[in-house]
């Protein structure tokens, strides 16, 4: 994948909740980390039954804030809520999960 692919994937999935937060990152809450930094997003990728997914590990909580989930809990949450993007292969899912912030670079 390259930058153009990233933008295409984000546009094709603009209604997925975590993608809305990526596209409008300044209007959403932040998560205070223990080290004094903040997070607005964090992603992981996984395979299940031969299908490949990227999904958030920082998710909205019920109090209009954010919370961080362990990867296994984040995957379960994503599958239950539809808050994921499916990719054709593991390489693309991993690339997206590691490089989605490039959308903010241009």
Total-model pTM: 0.83
- What is the domain count for the chain? 1
Residue 105 confidence (pLDDT) above 70: no
Where is pLDDT greater, at 93 or 26?
A: 93
105 within a domain of the structure (yes/no): no
18 within a domain of the structure (yes/no): yes
106 within a domain of the structure (yes/no): no
- What phi and psi, each to the nearest 5 degrees, are found at residue 53? -135, 150
- pLDDT tens-digit map of 6-47: 889 989 999 998 888 877 766 667 778 889 887 778 899 999
- Residue 88 sits in which domain range? 3-100
Tell me the C-alpha distance between 40 and 24, whole Å.
11
In this prediction, residues 73-95 reach a mean pLDDT of 95
């Amino acid at each position: 994948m390259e930058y153009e692919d990233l933008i295409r994937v984000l546009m094709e999935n603009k209604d997925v909740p975590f993608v809305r937060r990526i596209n409008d990152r300044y209007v959403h809450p932040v998560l205070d980390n223990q080290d004094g930094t903040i997070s607005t997003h964090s992603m992981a990728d996984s395979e299940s039954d031969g299908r490949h997914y990227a999904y958030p590990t920082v998710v909205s909580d019920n109090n209009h804030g954010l919370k961080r989930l362990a990867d296994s809990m984040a995957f379960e949450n994503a599958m239950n809520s539809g808050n994921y993007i499916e990719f054709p292969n593991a390489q693309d899912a991993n690339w997206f999960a590691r490089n989605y912030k490039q959308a903010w670079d241009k």
